[in-house]
Amino acid sequence: MQAVFPGLAPETYRPHALHDQERMWPETNCYIDLWIEVLNTMNLPPEAMLGFTLTQDFEGDQFTFFKVPLEDLDTLYGITCTELAIFDKVERHVETQIARGRLCLVEMDSFFMPDTAGVAYRREHGKTTIGINRLDAAGRSLDYFHNGGFFRLEGDDFDGLFQTLSAPDALPLLPYTEFAKLPNGRPDEAHLRKAADARLAFHFARRPSANPFHAFAAVLPGQVEALAGRDFDFFHKYAFNTLRQFGANYELLATHLAWLATDGRYETERLAALKISEVGKTVQFQVARAVNRKRFDALAGTLTPAAEAWDTLMQGLATKLA
C-alpha cells in the first residue's frame, strides 16, 4: 500500500517539540498542528513559518483562526498547496494523489476520529482537517496527521468518515480538500532564515491597526454572561475560538522570535508574546469560574496585561524592523 511518507507508523511516531506537553498550549488548531507535524516528518523546522501569527486580530466574536499562508509554505519550503477538485469519491482522489507523492488535506468529521476520544469521537460532529499519509479503501483503514500527532483509524470509523455505507441516492461527500506538492530537495538553513526574516517584516506590515485586546475586553463580560445561560459544553467551544486561539498564537510567535534571533535581539518582544499567551491561559480559568458562579464583575481588567504586552510587542518590532 502506497504512502506519501513510507514507513511512517502511528505506534512509533514522535511528535515535534512544539507539541510537547510542557508548553502552555501543546495543541493550537488542527491546520497549524497538522503542518507542524508534516514539516517535522520532512525534517524541516516548522518554527520558520510562524511569522504570520503577527496578523491575528479580534474578529468581533472570535480571534482569527490562524493558518499558515500557502505562499509562506512555498517561499520557505518549496511546498505548493492548492485546492483539489472533488468530483468522484473522495477516497479515489486521495489514492490518486498519494500515488503521485502528494499529501491531501481533507476537512472531515471528528465524530469518526478516535484520536479525539473524550472530546468529539462518537460524541458530536465537528469539522476538522487531517493530512492523509496512507489510505486503504479495500482494507478500510487510514493513517493521518491530525492535531499534535499521527494516527490510524479503520473499520466502522473509516466507513463513517467517508460515508461508504450511504444510500445510493444520498447527498455525496464533498469536503473541502487541498493537496500539497512536496519538494524534491531540502532548503538550507541560510535560505530559511533569510526568507523567514522577510516574511516577518511582510506580516508585521499587515498587523491589526488597533490593539485587538481592547476590542475583546469591551465585549468579554457580555459574552461570558451569555455563556452562563448555555450548556457548559458550549464554554469549551467559546474558549477554543477566543482564549485558546490567541494564547496558542502568541506562544508560537514567541517560539518564532527565539528561532529567528539566536542572538537575543527579539528577547523583549518574545517575552511580550509569552505574556499574552499566559494571559490567555489565566483568563480561561477565570471565565470558567465566572460561568460556574454566574458572577462576572471579576472579569474587568483581566485582559489589560495582554493589551499592554501587545503594545510592547508591536512597538519593539516597529523599531527593530524599521
Nearest to 93 by CA among 77, 109, 105: 105
Ramachandran region of residue 101, left (φ > 0), alpha (ψ -120 to 50) or beta? left
In this structure, which amino acid lies at residue 281?
K
* pTM for the full predicted model: 0.95
Encode the chain (322 residues) as per-residue pLDDT tens digits: 699 999 999 999 999 999 999 999 999 999 999 999 999 999 999 999 999 999 999 999 999 999 999 999 999 999 999 999 999 999 999 999 999 999 999 999 999 999 999 889 999 999 999 999 999 999 999 999 999 999 999 999 999 999 998 878 788 889 999 999 999 988 999 999 999 999 999 999 999 999 999 999 999 999 998 888 888 788 889 999 999 999 999 999 999 999 999 999 999 999 999 999 999 999 999 998 888 888 877 788 999 999 999 999 999 999 999 8
Cα 126 to Cα 121, 135, 224, 237, 240, distances in angstroms = 9, 21, 23, 11, 13
Q: Which residues fall within 8 angstroms of residue 80, CB to CB, at 6 or more apart? A: 70, 73, 74, 180, 181
User: For residues 134 and 95, is the Cβ–Cβ distance under 8 A?
Assistant: no
- How many CB atoms lie under 10 A from the CB of residue 166? 12
Can you read off the three cell numbers belonging to residue 35?
503542518
Quickly tell me which residue has 499566559 as its cell: 278
Collapsing DSSP to helix, strand or coil, 299 comes out as helix
* Beta-bridge mates of residue 82: 179
Name the E strands within the chain. 80-83, 102-109, 127-136, 141-146, 149-154, 177-181
261 alpha-carbon distance from chain centroid? 23
